[in-house]
Amino acid sequence: MIEFLTNWLEIPILGVVAAGGILILVHDRVKGIAGLTVQYGCVAWLLTGIVPLQVVGIKLFAGLLTALILFSTQRTRASLGGSSLAEFETGRSFRAIAYFLIMIASYGIFSSGWLSLPISNERLLLGAILLVGSGLLQVGIFQQPYSIGLGLITLISGFEILYTGLEPSLAMVALLAAVHVGLALVISYMELIVPPSRTNAGEAE
Amino acid sequence: MNVPLLIILLSVLISLITAVNRTRPRASAWIGAGGLLLLGLFIWLAPLEEAFNLAGIALKFTNQFNILGRALVLDDTTRGFVGFIYAASAFLLIAGSNANTNRLFTPLGVFMCIILASALMMKPFVYAAILIEISAMVAVVMLVAPEYPARRTAMRLIFVFTLAMMAILTAGWMLDVVGVTGATPGTARWTTGLLAIGMAVMLAVPPFHYWLSAAADESNPFVVAAFLLLSQTIGLFFLLRFLDTYEWLRAQPEIFSAIRTAGMGMVWFSGIMSLGQRRLARIIMYGMIADLGILLMAVGLGSEGGFALALQMTAARVPGIVLWVASLTYLIRVVGDDLVDRLEGAAHRHKYGAIFMLIGMSASFGFPFSATFPSRWAMLEPMAGIDRFGILTIMFGWVFGGAILLRWFVLLWRSEKRDRSEGFVIGQWAFMIGCAALILLLGMFPQIVLPWVRQVGDGLQQILP
């Protein structure tokens, strides 16, 4: 099982690219959260080669908990009359081109060997760079806390892959898991504390 | 008895009690502040790793708590820092109860104190970066409220602190695994750069202060100032510990010059940026950046005296900033906003609020007889021997501070809007007078904080022998 997972790391890498595409291009928040869940699954898969399965399990559990918190927030928000569509400030074609360019640039950074870190599996490094690139793009082009929050989660996921490869200690795993859950709670708090109608008005300013 | 665990558990208990009482903000704040103050005293005074008898029971306070392969250690290095964070938090909670903060301010303030204390006790301390990130998340919940929908501030704050976390963790890995010594200048430069980014975020060194301008516009100024004060204090403590722990860092000839230059840059930048501001909350934030700039200049002296002055200023700056921002929140309650147009003539409606605000302002700018003045004055002589531009910067700070003080004095008393005059209730009077007295006391007798500086110095043997 582990051998299969570690031999086919191309699958989670493609999954990361697809999940990033969903987060950046799709308006429906629920689909975005589904994309985030896929992304967490891919991150967990990528990590199977460097940390024990129990640790991967903890990371996956924290990721699923994060997605669950965001999903339940979305449901609550919808029940308060909030829109289920994420509002993006740029057009879809612009976002698609930007995402494509970021993916190309991320691959370029990987293949140039500029980021030479002592990680056993190079594909892990590629996955991490793609996630960091996708996360930075989301943080850079979005203005809504919900979308920026997902971007930050993506960014931290990429960093986490790199860092777990370098320092696979249990304390780090636990603390970084707490960061993911904490971020989800903060996003939820901000989504719910400001009523949806006021949110939209505030963002239109 | 395990002291780090005991502190955390008792703090959690205090946080829960204050959360239960959150509908009564004053009572909640007093409970929280009292509890934190007692814990702060315990942290300072508890006999660690020594057996003793208490009412016939043999006790020993152990100073290390192991969790998931890492340790929280309350030793000579950390107890002065942790105790200070507890005392400062207690002070901020009392002030916050009168500053229109949201109901969660006190319980979350106590919770943040636990996180920051854990960050300071964490060994190896570079791993505390994640706890600092979590403290920023807690700050977001304090900053964003229905009446303050500061979503822009929140995301900026979390973004910069995430960057800091990544930078410090990577530096930590380089220190632990790659190994940095004076013989590896390339790695040392990378590590220093990463640490500098992390420190710059915590200390709000421009351009990493950019969340502050949005925060000053969108959030309760008191909450912003409280978080900034704690964040800057923690950042400074980390900086001193890095300098104390890593010989290769101290050995880099340009490191102290860089710290000094950053400090000077902060003073000039803040002074110039304050000129065009129409919101007093923004001026407070820039004032805090400038104040920290002076403090960094003291660190940048690179001498024992410089480090001691920096620690002295860290303690002395608290009452001035708190008085300034707390008085502003009173004035905002009366006039509705912190814009120049609204505050014009505000002294006619809340005379004492305006007076105390100017006292806090002058203390933050380090004017004579105020708490930070003796340290600034003491910096002049050593600075003259190292960097004459540093002296000019300190002078510039005073001149600019004076100009801003004069501008606001004239503005607050300008036109007469005598529709309704307001005053303080007894608790507010007590707090304001207490703060002002503390500012004066620390200005006249700066040696009051020396025992604390000495205690911290016991743990920083390399830089404060």
Question: pLDDT tens digit string along B11-53?
Answer: 999 999 999 998 888 899 999 999 999 999 999 888 888 888 8
Residue B12 domain boundaries = 1-123
| Chain A contacts in chain B segment 72-131 (CB below 8 A) | 127, 130-131
CB-CB under 8 Å, A163 with B170: yes
Q: Render pLDDT for A34-86 as a digit per residue (tens, 0 to 9).
A: 999 999 999 999 888 788 888 889 899 999 999 999 999 999 888 887 777 77
Cβ neighbours for B285, distance < 8 A, ≥ 6 positions apart = B209, B212, B213, B215, B216, B224, B225, B228
Phi, psi of B22, deg, nearest 5: -65, -20
List the structure tokens of B305.
């005296």
Q: Does residue B115 share a domain with residue B134?
A: no
Confidence of residue B415 (pLDDT cuts 50, 70, 90): confident
Q: Which of B68, B141, B162 sits opposite A156 (nearest CB)?
A: B162
Q: By the CB < 8 Å criterion, does A82 face chain B?
A: no
Give residue B205's pLDDT. 93
CB-CB under 8 Å, B137 with A139: no
List the structure tokens of A7.
């031999």
- The C-alpha atoms of residue A2 and residue B168 are separated, in whole angstroms, by 32
Confidence of residue A205 (pLDDT cuts 50, 70, 90): very low
Between the two ends of chain A, the Cα-to-Cα distance in Å is: 53
Q: Does residue B61 share a domain with residue B186?
A: no
- DSSP designation for B148: B
| Chain A contacts in chain B segment 367-396 (CB below 8 A) | none
How far CA B110 is from CA of B12, B90, B94, in Å, comes to 8, 8, 12
Q: Does residue B160 share a domain with residue B82?
A: no
| Mean pLDDT for the stretch of residues B49-64 | 82
Q: Residue B4: pLDDT above 80?
A: yes
Q: Residue A116: pLDDT above 80?
A: no
Q: By the CB < 8 Å criterion, does A167 face chain B?
A: yes
Contacts of A149 in chain B (CB under 8 A): 155, 158
Pairing mode, strands B122-123 and B70-73: antiparallel
Q: Residue A198: pLDDT above 60?
A: no
**Cis amide linkage into residue B207, ω under 30° from 0:** yes
Q: Does residue B424 share a domain with residue B322?
A: yes
Confidence of residue A29 (pLDDT cuts 50, 70, 90): confident
CB B300 within 8 A of CB B263: yes
CB-CB under 8 Å, A183 with B158: yes
Q: Does residue B191 share a domain with residue B286?
A: no
Give residue A204's pLDDT. 37
Burial of residue B39 (number of CB atoms within 10 Å: 0-12, 13-18, 19+)? buried
Q: Render pLDDT for B159-193 as a digit per residue (tens, 0 to 9).
A: 999 999 999 998 888 887 777 776 777 788 888 89
Q: By the CB < 8 Å criterion, does A115 face chain B?
A: no
Q: How many structural domains does chain B have?
A: 3
Name the pTM for this structure: 0.91
Q: Does residue B199 share a domain with residue B64?
A: no
Q: Render pLDDT for B194-249 as a digit per residue (tens, 0 to 9).
A: 999 999 999 999 988 888 888 888 889 999 999 999 999 999 999 998 888 888 88
Torsion of CA A175, B233, B312, B373, to 10 degrees: 180
Distance to chain A for B152, nearest Cα, Å: 7
Q: Does residue B220 share a domain with residue B88?
A: no
Which SS3 state, helix, strand or coil, does residue B276 take? Answer: coil
- The C-alpha atoms of residue B278 and residue B346 are separated, in whole angstroms, by 15
Q: By the CB < 8 Å criterion, does A100 face chain B?
A: no
Q: Does residue B163 share a domain with residue B70?
A: no
CB-CB under 8 Å, B146 with A139: no
